[in-house]
Amino acid sequence: MTIYQNIKEAFTSIRGNMTRTVITCLIISIGIMALVGILTAIDGIETSLVKNFSFMGANSFNIQNRSSGFSLNRKKKRVYYENITFKEAMEFKERFEYDAEVSVNSNNSWNAIAKKGSEKTNPNTNIIGGDEGYLRVAGYDLAEGRNLTDTDIERNLPVAVIGQEIREKLFGSGNCLNEFIKVGGVKLRVIGLFVAKGGAFDFGGDRIVLVPVTLARAKFPRSNVSYNLGVSVEDINRMDAVSGYSENLFRQVRKLKVKEETNFSIVKSDSVSKALLENLQYLLLGAIFIAGITLLGAAIALMNIMLVSVTERTKEIGTRKAIGAKSRTVLNQFIIEAITICQIGGLGGVILGLAIGNLTSSMIGGSFIVPWNWISLALVVCTIVGLGAGIWPAYKASKINPIEALRHE
């Protein structure tokens, strides 16, 4: 009997045991859906991270007050260091001699409200105190208007560069330049508009209100504030050299002795994305575990169905053997039936997994993706499950004595 005939016979058997087959296919589909869905979402998120991770510039790093600021490794102990003061930050910038851009900035609020007349934003506006170098070290571009200048910083001018989400909330599609908004009760003139960052990993990059760092100190004070130092280099190959120089310089600013531990942290944007990607592996392990348990249950259910099918079709098997069918032919028939049932369930699981995985990925900023490697793996797994579940019933069918089978009622 050819493979085509075996598959045709498999569908005939499936129609004869529709309820049991459908239930088994659904169990298999759930397992494959969990596997493909989570893996699709992970791939979409990884693609987005690699392509769009931009809360810092690609050639930038930050000097921060604590080593655990962006650490997502649960094995590492969280150690907090003393805050970086405005005086220390300014001294570092003044003494910095490398050919690189240095920015002093601070996060003054993550839950402010921006207002324009009767329009206002949700209480999730980010007030950032920055300087003329902030755009470059944070990876921003201007869509309209101008950047902050030295004069804005020195004179504490009430000006702001805003993100696209702030503009849409307060001005719609209209002009926002040279218009006035109120943030935290402070009247600010809009001088610039950022290009939209979008995505899920910019930490509210489109809800930003950038004001001069000196104005932020005076008008948006926050207890226990720590200043960040952003450094951006032209050539990424010089990143290690500049970060080493920056560490030594800031140790001098803090008057640390040679044997004293460095009490601040240098965080690179690629190290943050790597930490996030490492943590996605927990989801991968979870998907494999869920799929494994579900497919094990599906294999047991499928084996039971096949054993029942062998019993119900004993007379049919005896008739085939009596007219010349070999044991190997019967063995192949039942194995192909089991694999066919698994592939039907697997295809359903792949379709559901792709839909759910990409929906999840798009909701948290990932991109649409068709993971052909995971789809291929899912179908291979279905074949293995079908083979494992069908080989024992098929073996029993192949060993049936045709004379006894013909007398079976």
Structure tokens belonging to residue 148: 């902050």
Burial class (CB in 10 A: 0-12, 13-18, 19+), 313: buried
Give the side-chain half-sphere CA count within 13 A for 394: 22
- CA–CA gap between residue 104 and residue 368 (Å, rounded): 37
Q: Are strands 186-194 and 159-162 parallel, antiparallel or unpaired?
A: parallel
The answer to whether the beta carbons of residues 80 and 282 sit under 8 Å apart is no
Residues whose CB falls within 8 Å of the CB of residue 207, separated by 6 or more in sequence, listed in order: 121, 124, 125, 126, 163, 165, 166
Structure tokens belonging to residue 242: 């500049």
The backbone region for 391, taken as left when phi is positive above 0, alpha when psi lies in -120 to 50, beta otherwise, is alpha
- CA–CA gap between residue 362 and residue 76 (Å, rounded): 31
The pTM of this model reads: 0.59
- CA–CA gap between residue 297 and residue 291 (Å, rounded): 10
SS3 of 177-192: CCCEEEECCEEEEEEE
257 DSSP assignment: -
Neighbours of 30 (CB within 10 A): 21
Print pLDDT tens along the chain (409 aa). 566 776 777 677 777 677 777 877 887 888 788 778 877 877 777 666 655 554 455 578 889 886 444 444 445 555 567 889 999 999 999 999 988 899 999 999 989 999 999 999 999 999 999 999 999 888 889 999 999 999 999 999 999 999 999 999 999 988 999 999 999 889 999 999 999 876 544 456 789 999 999 999 999 988 888 999 999 888 877 888 999 999 999 999 999 998 888 888 888 766 655 666 666 677 777 777 877 787 787 788 778 877 877 777 778 778 877 887 788 888 888 888 888 888 888 888 889 888 888 887 777 656 677 878 878 888 888 888 888 888 888 888 888 877 676 665 5
The answer to whether the beta carbons of residues 249 and 92 sit under 8 Å apart is yes
